């Protein structure tokens, strides 16, 4: 696979809970927006929290959309692969997050990578899914 990759942990950015009155570190958010805009695709992994998208991920997307020149700039026309590691099957997270990404113009791969308490990582399957994603981008 001949692709450039980077790893980003949204939690490490320590973004404040979104509020129009709050101040965010402009360098941090602009660097994040630049990275997303320069990417042709994303593999986004997150757990399912209370049947949905983890707050830290929703919060980051809110900051990105508000601080971008046009709210969809960082996501529109990009490709995404969703993965989850949750106590359960993560379907509610996948469904909610897929819908959110598609609303922002992202083309989301139908296949997902799911790891749970009852479903260990199938490396062969995950490799095939990632390779098909790389072929698209």
Query: Which of 117, 21, 101 has its CA nearest to residue 58?
Result: 101
Give the tens place of pLDDT for each residue, 114-135. 999 999 999 999 999 999 999 9
The CATH architecture of the domain made up of 38-136 is 3-Layer(aba) Sandwich (3.40)
Give the tens place of pLDDT for each residue, 42-60. 999 999 999 999 999 999 9
Is residue 1 over pLDDT 70? no
Query: Structure tokens of 134?
Result: 């790389």
Give the percent of the chain with pLDDT over 70. Answer: 99
Residue 44 dihedral angles phi and psi, to the nearest 5°: -115, 120
pLDDT at res. 88: 87
Query: Structure tokens of 80?
Result: 């995404």
- Extents of the domains making up the chain: 38-136
């Amino acid at each position: 696979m001949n692709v450039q990759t980077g790893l980003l942990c949204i939690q490490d950015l320590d973004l404040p809970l979104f509020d129009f009155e709050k101040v965010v570190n402009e360098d941090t958010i602009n660097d994040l927006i630049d990275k997303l805009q320069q990417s042709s695709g994303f593999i986004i992994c997150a757990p399912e929290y209370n049947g949905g998208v983890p707050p830290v991920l929703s919060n980051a997307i809110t900051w990105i959309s508000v601080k971008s020149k046009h709210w969809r700039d960082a996501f529109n026309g990009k490709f995404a692969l969703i993965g989850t590691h949750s106590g359960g099957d993560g379907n509610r997270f996948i469904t909610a997050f897929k819908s959110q990404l598609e609303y922002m113009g992202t083309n989301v791969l139908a296949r997902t990578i799911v790891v749970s308490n009852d479903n260990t990582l199938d490396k062969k399957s995950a490799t095939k899914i990632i390779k098909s994603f790389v072929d698209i981008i």
